[in-house]
Structure 1
Amino acid sequence: MQQFVVPQFIDIEDKIIGPITTRQFIITLVTGFFIFLSYRFSDFSLFIVLTVIWSLIGGSLAFIRVNGRPFHFFLLNLVQTLRRPRLRIWNKRLTTIEVSSEMKMTTASVAHTPVVSARTPPPSSRLSELSLVVDTGGVYRGES
């Protein structure tokens, strides 16, 4: 039988600069780019506010983990959960034609079901012997 190597630690990301992973590095670069754009196209007070906002967003996406998973997975799961309905109701309405065809199918399957004969219970002497075997854990095998 051929053996295969099972990959382990598949959720570990590659580290490129010290403890920084590729994903964290790219998120930090994009955040830095947005901070640079806010520096170029806004006055100083707005630049400070935007820098704080971009740093919080980028830092949380890059470095915060929720239940051992990256923060962006948490945000995606949150959005998916909020888009789903909170209460699921099964509301299947059948027409009279569907109900009658379903009834015909069930009566046809019941009519063709073979009758199972009931077994006769063992005689009382055999029943007491079997209960003795069960009670003794199989040590007593019977008289025959």
Structure 2
Amino acid sequence: MKQFIVPQFIDVEDKILGPITVRQFVLIVIGGIIEFLSFRFGDLGFFIVMTIVILALVGLFGFVKINGAPFHYFLLNIAASFKKPALRVWNKNFREEVLLEAKTEAPKKNYKPKSPLSTSRLSELSLIVDTHGKYKGEE
């Protein structure tokens, strides 16, 4: 039988510059290109605003992980849960009035307290338990 090498750690991204992965490097390059274009074709105020926005977005999408998953997966999961929520509600048409009417008090039941066990009855129960039910007790 042939033996095949099974790749391991396939969910770990390749690092190219120290701790920076290929995806992070591409995001940084794209952010740098957008920054250069805003510097070249915009005025100083536009450039400063774009710098803050682009740095925040590149940092967020490139380096932030939520529950071990990249931020863009988190956004995709949020969009999917808004599109098709996992919580299923049986009948959405209930109004508060219907629920408040259903909260009427339950009728009180008359409970008769049990009489306390006498010492002879307790010793008889103890004997039944000790003999594992072989002694049936006085009926």
Q: TM-score, normalised by structure 1?
A: 0.56
Distance (whole Å) between structure 1 residues aligned to residue 32 and residue 3 of structure 2: 47
Partner of 2:47: 47
Partner of 1:119: none
- Code of the residue aligned with 1:6 in structure 2: it is V
Are the structure 2 counterparts of residues 3 and 84 from structure 1 closer, same or farther at C-alpha, using a change threshold of 3 Å? Answer: same
Partner of 1:78: 78
Q: How does 1:1-144 map to 2 (within 5 A)?
A: 1-85=1-85, 87-88=87-88
CA displacement 1:39-93 (0-9 Å, x = unmatched): 1222101210110001000111111111111111111111111122465468xxx
Higher helix share: 1
Are the structure 2 counterparts of residues 18 and 7 from structure 1 closer, same or farther at C-alpha, using a change threshold of 3 Å? Answer: same
Alignment gaps of 5+ in structure 1: 91-144
Distance (whole Å) between structure 2 residues aligned to residue 86 and residue 22 of structure 1: 34
Alignment gaps of 5+ in structure 2: 91-139
Distance (whole Å) between structure 1 residues aligned to residue 39 and residue 9 of structure 2: 41
Distance (whole Å) between structure 1 residues aligned to residue 63 and residue 42 of structure 2: 27
Are the structure 2 counterparts of residues 89 and 27 from structure 1 closer, same or farther at C-alpha, using a change threshold of 3 Å? Answer: same
Partner of 2:115: none
CA displacement 1:12-33 (0-9 Å, x = unmatched): 1111111111000001011111
Share of identical aligned residues, percent? 51
Once the two structures are TM-superposed, the CA of residue 4 in structure 1 deviates from its matched residue by 3.6
Distance (whole Å) between structure 2 residues aligned to residue 31 and residue 51 of structure 1: 9
**Two-structure CA RMSD over aligned residues (Å):** 2.1
- Code of the residue aligned with 1:51 in structure 2: it is T
Distance (whole Å) between structure 1 residues aligned to residue 41 and residue 18 of structure 2: 33
Distance (whole Å) between structure 2 residues aligned to residue 87 and residue 8 of structure 1: 36
